[in-house]
Amino acid sequence: MNHVIHNSTVNFIWGIADDVLRDVYVRGKYRDVILPMTVIRRLDALLEPSKEKVLRMKKQLDGAGIANQHAALCQASGEAFYNVSPFTLRDLKNRAKQQQLKADFEAYLDGFSPNVQEILDKFKFRNQIPTLIEADILGHLIEKFLDGRINLSPKPVQDVDGNEQLPALDNHSMGTIFEELIRRFNEENNEEAGKHFTPRDAVKLMAELIFLPVKGDIGKKNCEYSEEHIRAICDLVVNPVETEKSKIFPNESFGYWKVTVDRPLRLAVDLSPARLERFERTCARANVGAKDFLPLPTLARRVAETLGAGPHLDFNAFMDAVEADADKHGFKLTAKRRKLLQSELCDTREDACPVIRKVYRPGKTKPDPMTGKFEVGRLKCEKDKLHPSHLTLHPSSVVEYEPDTALRDSEQVPLLEEGGPDGDGIGAFFRREVLPYTPDAWIDPGKTLVGYEISFTRHFYRPAPMRTLDEIKADNLCPGAGNRRAAGTDCRGG
């Protein structure tokens, strides 16, 4: 799989947690929702093409009074599983009423075949549905997994002219993505190596159903160590001797720091009439009979009259105007209301100003760009103009920026990395390998972990020796000369 596509898919799914689950779940519980939803969306994508065929088969089997329907329904779906509910995830994303969405989503889950039900039971995913409904985020969660920027389907996404926009995701690639998500969630929760959140039984079932090619040669006789191999390895452990097949390294040779690299979220605000009309419809759907979001469209229109249609490249200045208007009209800006303004009226844009998360008063902390604490005006926007929202800050202030989860990446820094005179291996690596390409990046020190990895290829692989110039020349003059020499003949057949 293309490495860029793999990383962007993993980062997008990883970012769904912050976009949807924040303020509802603590970070350690994000995986209770994201991992099973990733599996559900993959299953949904696999079953979409055969949905109507499965429903027709189900109707025929019920009409004929056939009780054992599993084999016939699997044959209709073309997979080792099926779903006999009348819904796909795309059918559910536009449900306006939460109770109707809850009923239909539960019916959708109940429609899966017994082998998939077992996976869902292992995840205990149904326990999360009341929380998702109460927080009014289930619909948003489904929409995120159907976003056109990722493809979890085994078929490529094409435009109207038939050009490929996103490649197909085969079983092996899907397994790799899921494995990376598990690893990230384990690291996020500071779990020790070998301690996995995902139930082993669930992983085994998914491997059999969805990720089958990932297993490869596991379990084959020729991939197992014989007693002789085991004894030889034990002897080398007890009495280590360095040979061509046995090498001795310090533990640090296999170690690395896993550092999380963030970049600032840059948002452009669109207050055009069309965007405001769409925002008003979204607020109406989000209310579901309540009055939480009804004043928001009016507030947005008043701000648009003051600032203009935009696009405005300083989200911070926009929020200052929003807060001023809200104070003036006695309107409380709750976290949900702020989130709705940001998600519905803003788009990411490279030349926009970074979104400020926190401002330190002068003298409270020292600037440290490598850990995300920047001097006022350090990061520019709009072709190196100073942020308008920064002009009101004291020039000695220090700011932190909101990270863009879609741009979040990670680096592995060897424990033996040369740190220069200050002995800072991570800093030396970051300045050499990251900052020249992304000067606005920083490291989240709270997420730095230490890991170990043994690469047998790096330490033991021996490439085949290159042919000499005489052998290459002889082969060019007489194609197949090497084979003829081995057979005792020459180009003349002698």
User: E-assigned strands of 409-483?
Assistant: 409-414, 442-443, 449-452
Q: What are phi and psi of 45, to 5 degrees?
A: -65, -40
Of 364, 365, 359, 363, which Cα lies nearest the Cα of 377? 359
DSSP letters spanning 272-286:
-HHHHHHHHHHHHHH
β pairing state of 374-375 and 346-348:
unpaired
Alpha helices for 78-192 (secondary structure H): 89-92, 98-110, 114-123, 129-134, 138-145, 171-188
> What mean pLDDT is predicted for residues 349-376?
86
Q: What are phi and psi of 76, to 5 degrees?
A: -70, -35
- Mean pLDDT rounded to a whole number for the chain: 80
Exposed e or buried b per residue across 441-473, where buried means at least 16 C-beta atoms within 10 angstroms of its C-beta: bbbeeebeeeeeeeeeeeeeeeeeeeeeeeeee
Q: What is the four-CA torsion angle of 110, 116, 122, 126, rounded to 10 degrees?
A: -20
Q: Scanning the structure block, which residue is given the tokens 């190596």?
A: 193
Alpha-carbon span 285 to 278, nearest angstrom: 11
Alpha-carbon span 184 to 60, nearest angstrom: 45
Cβ partners under 8 Å of residue 89, min gap 6:
40, 41, 44, 108, 142, 145, 146
User: Edge-to-edge strands of the sheet including 374-375?
Assistant: 356-360, 398-401, 374-375
Q: What are phi and psi of 32, to 5 degrees?
A: -60, -25
What's the sign of the alpha-carbon dihedral 343, 45, 203, 111? positive
Give percent above pLDDT 70 in the chain: 78
Using alpha carbons, list the distances in angstroms from residue 169 to 43, 150, 153.
Answer: 12, 10, 6
Alpha helices for 334-454 (secondary structure H): 335-345, 425-433
Of 85, 185, 99, 181, which Cα lies nearest the Cα of 139? 99
Alpha-carbon span 294 to 184, nearest angstrom: 38
User: Quick one: pLDDT band at residue 195, thresholds 50, 70, 90?
Assistant: very low
pLDDT at 372: 86
Most confident of 15-24, 370-379, 454-463, 479-488: 15-24
Kindly report, residue by residue over 1-25, the tens digit of the pLDDT: 567 888 889 899 989 988 899 889 9
Kindly report, residue by residue over 19-68, the tens digit of the pLDDT: 899 889 988 888 899 999 999 999 999 999 999 999 999 999 999 888 88
Cβ partners under 8 Å of residue 43, min gap 6:
81, 83, 112, 116, 210
User: E-assigned strands of 185-254?
Assistant: none
Residue pair 150/13 in contact by the 8 Å Cβ criterion: yes
Alpha-carbon span 42 to 168, nearest angstrom: 12
Q: Which of 97-106, 128-137, 232-241, 444-453 has the lowest mean pLDDT?
A: 232-241
User: Quick one: pLDDT band at residue 215, thresholds 50, 70, 90?
Assistant: very low
Rg of the chain, C-alpha, whole Å: 29
Of 348, 347, 345, which Cα lies nearest the Cα of 276? 345
pLDDT at 146: 92
pLDDT at 393: 59
Point out which residues pair with 354 in neighbouring strands. 266
> What mean pLDDT is predicted for residues 410-428?
77
Residue pair 256/452 in contact by the 8 Å Cβ criterion: yes
Residue pair 332/299 in contact by the 8 Å Cβ criterion: no
Whole-model pTM: value is 0.48
Terminal Cα distance for the chain, rounded:
49
Residue pair 92/142 in contact by the 8 Å Cβ criterion: yes
Kindly report, residue by residue over 252-301, the tens digit of the pLDDT: 888 888 899 999 999 999 999 998 888 888 887 766 444 555 678 888 89
pLDDT at 420: 47
Of 143, 60, 56, which Cα lies nearest the Cα of 94? 143
What's the sign of the alpha-carbon dihedral 246, 247, 248, 254? negative
Alpha-carbon span 371 to 27, nearest angstrom: 21
